[in-house]
Amino acid sequence: MSKSKINEIQVKGVPITIIDNDNGEFISITDMCRGFGDDTLIYNWLRNKNTVEFLGLWEHLNNPNFKGVEFETFKNDAGANRFSLTPKKWIEATNAIGLVSKSGRYGGGTFAHKDIAFEFGTWLSPEFKLLLIKEFQRLKDLEAKSVNLDWDFKRLLSKVNYRIHTDSIKENLIPNLHIDKTKERFVYANEADILNYAVFGQTAKSWAESNPALVLNGGNIRDYADLHQLTVLSNLESYNAILIKQGIDKQERVKMLCQAATEQLKSLKSSTYLSDKIKSPRLPNSSDNDNI
C-alpha cells in the first residue's frame, strides 16, 4: 500500500487508522478491535460462514482477479469446528483485495476496505458501526472543504451495501423467476420493500399513501429515515444478500430480517453514547405483509 495518505479518527476514545490509496479507503480493523478485546476477534469473525460469503460477494463485484474456486472451498468449510481462516491466508489463496495484512510494530495489522470495515463494525455492534461512519463522515467533510466536494452522511450510508444487495438479487433471484426483463424492476422493488417492512413496519407504497404531501415534494420513505434506521437498512442489505444467496425463501427471510432490525434498533436506541432518539419500529401489519 505505497503512496498512501494516512489519517486517524477516534471512535469511543479508540484511535483508528485510515489509509487512502489507489484501491480506495482502508480502515484498520485491528484498531477497531481494541474497544472490544484483541485482534483474535478478527479470526472469530472470519470463521463465520456469513462473513466468508460477504467477503466473496464484495470481491466478485470489485476484483476481476478474484479466485472463485478457492473461495468456494472456504465457503463450504466455513462454520465447521475445524475451520480457521486468517486475513493472510484469505488474501493469498483468493487473490483478495478487500483485506490487506500489514506487518510492522507501528502501523501494522489488518486493514479492510471501508465497505468491509463497516460490515465488521456491524459484527462488533451496530452502535459501533454508526459511530465509526459518523467519524468517517466527519473526516470526509473536512477533506471536502479543502477541495470543495459534496459529501453527505446519509448518502454514504445508503450506498454502503446497495450494490451487494442488488447484485445478489440479479444473480440469485431473477434467473429462477423466468420473467420478462421489463418486470425485473418489480423484483428489486419488492426486495427493497422487505427491508422497508423490517425497519419501518410498512412498505414504500403504504408510506406514500399516508404522506401524499411529502411524495409531491419528491420524497420517499428512506428520505425521511433517521441515521439509526439507515444504519440498520445498510446492515440488512448485506444480510439479505447472503440469505438470498443461501436460497432461503422470502417468508423466512422476512422473519429473520424483522428480528435483526428490531434487535439492532433496540441496541442503537439504548446506547449511552448516542444522543439522537429514534422511534421503535411498529409491528408490521397484515396488509403490508401481504404486499411484500
Q: What is the pLDDT of residue 288?
A: 61
What does the pLDDT read at residue 106?
A: 55
pLDDT at 92 over 50: yes
Helix 184-200 vs helix 250-269: crossing angle, to nearest 10:
40
* Cα dihedral sign, 84-86-92-96: positive
Task: Find, among 252, 58, 46, the residue nearest to 162 by Cα.
Answer: 58
Please give the pLDDT value at position 146. 63
Residue 37: which region, alpha, beta or left (left: phi > 0; alpha: psi -120 to 50)? left
Mean pLDDT for the stretch of residues 63-91? 93
Distance CA 280, CA 214 (A): 22
What H or E segment, with its residue span, contains residue 17? strand 14-21
Which among 202, 205, 216 has a CA at the least distance from the CA of 285?
A: 202
The grid coordinates listed for 36 are: 472490544
The percentage of the chain sitting over the pLDDT mark of 70, rounded to a whole number, equals 88
- Residue 284: phi, psi to the nearest 5? -60, 140
- Closest to 231 in 3D by CA, of 194, 282, 195: 195
Per the structure block, which three cell numbers stand in for 107? 502501523
Q: What is the mean pLDDT of residues 56-76?
A: 94
Strand partners, 56: none
Phi, psi of 282 (to 5 degrees): -75, 155
pLDDT grade, residue 35 (50/70/90)?
confident
CB 37 within 8 A of CB 43: no
What is the pTM for the complete model shown? 0.71
Question: What per-residue confidence (pLDDT) applies to 227?
Answer: 84
CA–CA gap between residue 290 and residue 279 (Å, rounded): 24
* Polymer length in residues for the chain: 292
> How many helices (DSSP H) and strands (DSSP E) are in the chain?
16, 5
Higher pLDDT: 150 or 261? It is 261
C-alpha distances (whole Å) from 95 to each of 44, 59, 83 are 21, 9, 20
Summarised one tens digit per residue, pLDDT across range 220-237 is: 999 888 888 999 999 999
pLDDT digits (tens, 9 = 90+) for 118-157: 999 999 998 899 899 989 988 888 877 765 545 567 777 7
CA-wise closest residue to 113 among 151, 87, 143, 134: 87
Over residues 53-60, the mean pLDDT reads 95
> Which CA distances in Å does 137 have to 142, 150, 153?
9, 11, 6
**Taking all residues of the chain, what is their mean pLDDT, rounded to a whole number?**
87
Look at residue 45 and tell me whether its pLDDT is greater than 90. Answer: yes
Q: Is the pLDDT of residue 184 over 70?
A: yes
The confidence score (pLDDT) of residue 291 equals: 61
